[in-house]
Chains A and B, each alone.
Chain A
């Protein structure tokens, strides 16, 4: 059971990260507030580090 579910859950987890990355980038492009743009970039970094399997 474990051997079947673990890769599925891990794949879903990375798919979820990719989705959140897209959402953050979309919001960063849409906003006109420069402070929010900086916040979006800051929160994007850990998601990208995980997506690229660096951290």
Chain B
């Protein structure tokens, strides 16, 4: 190797090093970006690791927000971030933590059920790493995530994922899918340990109802619906009928298939006393026929290609040029959660859950999501926690 070769190789290597450093910094900053959550006087924060040592100190040792009323009543758990590429779930959970006032019963809220999956975006899908919700005080940034746990936390994947304890064969990458890993196991993968910890929480805190918040592509038939375990059929059906009649949007009910394993609406109901429900809102960002996957498309839900797919009858939910803005999707979730509470109270007057302050569908559409996020700079330091 002569001097010329050494100089050429050094130059090419240096350019590669610059690309490596720039990319590495961006990936590191995304993984460790701190989302801010403002907690009120009623909110107490615990960690998932309090319920199982196996997740203590891991990336999935997420915050658990307890909002407890002065009077006893039912306990409801809201799970956001099972699939962090479905941001309406996490944002609904945030709106509930920052706005809910509980007078009877107890609300347990999770923003990052699979925190590891909030730290990575879909390979080759050109997702935005961060997105901003506009607010009167300038805007609040959030991490965009993926459907699966970060390979940095759990890797490699097997050829076939065999669900425990159902023994059902599932797609290999779903070994990192939190909503295919219920009820989990103590000696399993990080994702299985995470659901195992949540199951401990549900049992120890005697949770009555678990609601798992999701979004779906419009080409997927399970959309704009409440998926319910058989224990929650009355509750889901009553909520669905009431919302469709009075709230200004239609929402259906689907029954959880008994032989489809690993999903929250099946396994939480089977392995605990809680009623398990799962809500799906529409997210055109996830559709296979979408256009550019930018933050604008993510938040406004507008996509000409998805609209065209609708004109060809390929969708299970309507879409037009107005799209599915994030406030509409979050509003569907908040109104559905509040209606489920209301229906629960009608079925269980002796054990009510009374919640105030959470904006509903019409209010969110009228004022925008940003109107219900609290400026972390306007509160005392101890009132801000990080996701």
Contact = CB atoms under 8 A, between A and B. Distances in A.
Contact of B24 (A6, A13, A44, A49): A49
B24 A34 contact: no
A18 interface: no
A6 B189 CA distance: 8
A49 B12 contact: no
Nearest to B28: A54
B189 A32 contact: no
B20 interface: yes
Contacts of A41: 12-13, 15-16
Interface residues of B, number: 23
Interface string B92-107: 0000000000000000
A45 B189 contact: no
A3 B187 contact: yes
B188 interface: yes
A44 B16 contact: yes
B9 A28 contact: yes
Nearest to A43: B16
Given A10-B156, A44-B16, A55 B23 contact: yes
A29 B12 contact: no
Q: How large is the interface on A (under 10, 10 to 19, 20 to 34, 35 or more residues)?
A: 20 to 34
A28 B11 CA distance: 12
Contacts, number: 51
A34 B12 CA distance: 9
Interface in A31-51: 32, 34, 37-38, 41-42, 44-45, 48-50
Interface string B1-31: 1000100110011011001100110011000
B16 A54 contact: no
B16 A9 contact: no
Contacts of B366: none
Contacts of A13: 155-156
B125 interface: no
A21 B182 CA distance: 37
B189 A37 contact: no
B19 A45 contact: yes
Given A10-B156, A53-B152, A45 B9 contact: no
Nearest to A45: B20
Contacts of B1: 29
A19 interface: no
Contact of A2 (B16, B20, B189): B189
Contacts of B5: 32
Contacts of B15: 41
A54 B19 contact: no
A54 B5 CA distance: 31
Contacts of A54: 23-24, 27-28, 152
Contacts of A45: 16, 19-20, 23
B363 to A, nearest CB: 40
A55 B31 CA distance: 9
B8 A34 contact: yes
Contact of B12 (A3, A9, A38): A38
Nearest to B31: A54
A22 B120 CA distance: 27
27 contacts: A2-B187, A10-B156, A13-B156, A28-B9, A29-B9, A32-B5, A34-B8, A34-B12, A37-B12, A38-B12, A42-B16, A44-B16, A45-B16, A45-B19, A45-B20, A45-B23, A48-B20, A49-B23, A49-B24, A50-B151, A53-B152, A54-B24, A54-B27, A54-B28, A54-B152, A55-B27, A55-B152
Given A6-B189, A10-B156, A41-B12, 14 more contacts: A10-B155, A13-B155, A29-B9, A34-B12, A37-B8, A41-B13, A41-B15, A44-B16, A45-B19, A45-B20, A49-B20, A49-B23, A49-B24, A55-B120
The 8 closest A-B CB pairs, nearest first, are A41-B16, A3-B187, A54-B24, A55-B27, A54-B27, A37-B12, A13-B156, A53-B152
